[in-house]
Amino acid sequence: MPTEQSPAQSPPRRTGRRLVVPAVLILAVAVVGGGVAWSVHRGPGTPSGEPPVPVQTTTVVRTDLATTVSLTGTLGYGRAEPVKGGRSGTVTWLPAAGATVTRGKQLYRIDDRPVPLFYGGLPLYRDLAEPGTVGRDVRIIATNLKALGYEIGYQPVPGEKVVRPAKAGPTTPASGQNSTSGQQKSASGPGATATGQVRAGSEPGQPASAQAASGQGASGQAASGQGASGQEAAGQGAAAPTPAAGGTAAAPARVVVRKGEGVLTGSLMRAIKRWQQDVELPVTGRIAVGDVVVLPGAVRVDAVTALRGDDAETPLLTVTPTAKVITVQATVTEAGTVHRGDRVTVTLPGDKTVDGTVSAVGTTVAQDDAAGPTSEPKRAVTVTVDEDLTGTDAADVRVDLVGETRPDVLAVPVGALVALSEGGYALQRADDDRFVAVATGMFAKGMVEVSGDGITEDLKVVTTS
């Protein structure tokens, strides 16, 4: 019958335990040594019941890498600009907020007369009334009337000389001339100056050599006042000065047309009259300051700031461009790496992404008052998108701007890198499982630039993803 073991019989078990400990240590050392040997000389394993674990591979590619800077932007119509009436009068009509106004359409009414919108980069600063007037403001009128379908006739090209008539002087005929008998016409009729040169207002810019001699009538011309070349004067009534008795007429001014300038010719003044008649303005052939409002393009009325009955020389409304844009407030450092024309990626609400282009980089550095006095000054970057964003008028978006760029480099997915115990990284070749040390460069969008001995394009390596 078995008997219960007494406590005095326990030492042999402790001895056994002591004997087991070295064996365990020896086994552990053997296992670790075998593991080290296996990791260094990874050879084909012995067959087992489990299938080998498949590995993922990728290839080394040659590509361009670029870092991105993600900034927060605001989708809208851009900064609203104020517009005020350009002349005195009473405001009698204003558009509604949100309205779109295009070329030739009225933006507001003063004294119940429409003030149409013309496109251009220069506001009208003078009355355009004298035939032969040359300037960029004249070009704006000519360009807009032509775009609206009016025939403006020939416009002198840059470098061409035109003759502006001198200011009218005393009209007393010289001694020996009969100005009322009708026996001989003077050269002061429309289309000619006192020296026989065509005025710039005549169909335009004719050289002096094309005209009759000074003081002589146009032989064979009718008494209708046509110039010596048979061309019509622009102003229809701005006669050249006739010298007073014993005196000489003031010489007409010669003007060279420069790039971007236009000339107020007779044809252009007739086009102005036809346009004035169509838009129900007084038909004068002249454009006064405030008759039209000149802005860079079509506008959207952002807000109306005046009331009907107000003085027209005050701010009347604010306008924005009609296209939606994204405004990004970038630090000076960030904005310094951005250039007009750079491509960007915009992430809209709902994680929808669209491509865009930097259309403007502001030059004004401003402090963000909302961020406090210690915030870094910023510059505005304007981005336009390639897609129609109908239905979304305002939203916060993310804009990914391209930063540093590394063109034509070898790269692999980041998951292909193997960290070495002694430091640095390696790639594991897929053909023979060897590890090849590499130097890393730029990390961008899940890819990493690599270089080293034996690293070539299309080399197949092991990766985790």
Residue 375: phi, psi to the nearest 5? Answer: -70, 155
Instruction: State whether the Cα torsion 104-107-113-119 is positive or negative.
Output: negative
Name which of 133-147, 286-300, 356-370 the model is least confident about.
356-370
Average pLDDT, the chain: 77
Q: What's the confidence (pLDDT) of residue 224?
A: 39
- Sheet with 91-93, strands from edge to edge, namely 91-93, 106-110, 113-119, 293-295
Residue 192 pLDDT > 90, yes or no?
A: no
* CB distance 160 to 257 below 8 Å: yes
Residue 419 pLDDT > 90, yes or no?
A: yes
**Mean pLDDT computed over 422-432:** 93
pLDDT band at 370 (very low <50, low <70, confident <90, very high): low
What share of the chain in percent tops pLDDT 70? 68
Residue 421 pLDDT > 60, yes or no?
A: yes
Task: Give the Å distances, CA to CA, from 295 to 144, 181, 376.
Answer: 12, 54, 33
Give the 3-state secondary structure of residue 147. helix
Q: Which two tokens stand for residue 389?
A: 């964003």
Q: What's the confidence (pLDDT) of residue 394?
A: 85
Residue 237 pLDDT > 70, yes or no?
A: no
pLDDT band at 397 (very low <50, low <70, confident <90, very high): very high
Instruction: State whether the Cα torsion 272-274-275-279 is positive or negative.
Output: positive
Name which of 230-244, 318-332, 414-428 the model is least confident about.
230-244
Residue 233 pLDDT > 60, yes or no?
A: no
Residue 363 pLDDT > 70, yes or no?
A: yes
Report the amino acid identity of residue 97: A
Q: What's the pTM value of the predicted model, to 2 decimals?
A: 0.59
Closest CA to 201 of 285, 288, 130: 130
Residue 205 pLDDT > 80, yes or no?
A: no
Q: What are the residues whose beta carbons fall under 8 Å from the beta carbon of 32, sequence distance 6 or more?
A: none
E-strand spans in 226-365? 253-256, 262-263, 293-295, 299-304, 315-321, 325-331, 343-347, 353-361
Residue 369 pLDDT > 80, yes or no?
A: no
Higher pLDDT, 367 or 165: 367
CA separation for the pair 414, 422 (Å, rounded): 19
Q: What's the confidence (pLDDT) of residue 176?
A: 45
pLDDT band at 425 (very low <50, low <70, confident <90, very high): very high
pLDDT band at 52 (very low <50, low <70, confident <90, very high): low
Residue 191 pLDDT > 90, yes or no?
A: no
**Mean pLDDT computed over 320-349:** 89
Instruction: State how beta strands 113-119 and 293-295 pair.
Output: parallel
Residue 30 pLDDT > 70, yes or no?
A: no
DSSP secondary-structure letter at 388?
-
pLDDT tens string 153-181: 999 999 999 987 666 555 444 444 444 44
**Mean pLDDT computed over 208-222:** 38
**Mean pLDDT computed over 303-331:** 93
**Mean pLDDT computed over 197-202:** 42
Q: What's the confidence (pLDDT) of residue 6?
A: 39
The label of the residue with tokens 């110039």 reads 227
Q: Which long-range contacts (CB under 8 A, 24 or more apart) does 393-396 make?
A: 393/75, 393/76, 393/77, 393/324, 394/74, 394/75, 394/76, 395/74, 395/75, 395/348, 395/349, 396/72, 396/73, 396/74, 396/75, 396/349
CA separation for the pair 146, 150 (Å, rounded): 5
Report the amino acid identity of residue 192: A
Residue 31 pLDDT > 60, yes or no?
A: no
Residue 199: phi, psi to the nearest 5? Answer: -70, 155
* CB distance 94 to 316 below 8 Å: yes
- In degrees to the nearest 10, what's the CA dihedral of 125, 102, 315, 313? 40
Residue 77 pLDDT > 50, yes or no?
A: yes
Give the 3-state secondary structure of residue 107. strand
Task: Give the Å distances, CA to CA, from 69 to 72, 344, 382, 400, 401.
Answer: 10, 10, 15, 5, 5
Report the amino acid identity of residue 317: L
Residue 381 pLDDT > 60, yes or no?
A: yes
Residue 11 pLDDT > 90, yes or no?
A: no
The burial class, CB within 10 Å (0-12 / 13-18 / 19+), for 322 is middle
pLDDT tens string 256-272: 999 999 999 999 999 99
**Mean pLDDT computed over 149-154:** 97
* Residue 12: HSE in the Cβ half-sphere, 13 Å Cα cutoff: 5
The burial class, CB within 10 Å (0-12 / 13-18 / 19+), for 218 is buried
**Mean pLDDT computed over 194-221:** 39
Higher pLDDT, 4 or 109: 109
Give the 3-state secondary structure of residue 121. coil
Q: What are the residues whose beta carbons fall under 8 Å from the beta carbon of 351, sequence distance 6 or more?
A: none
* CB distance 161 to 238 below 8 Å: no
pLDDT tens string 64-74: 998 888 899 99
Closest CA to 252 of 308, 202, 320, 324: 202
The burial class, CB within 10 Å (0-12 / 13-18 / 19+), for 326 is buried
Closest CA to 292 of 95, 148, 87: 87
Query: CA angle 186-187-193, nearest 5°?
Result: 145
CA separation for the pair 440, 426 (Å, rounded): 9
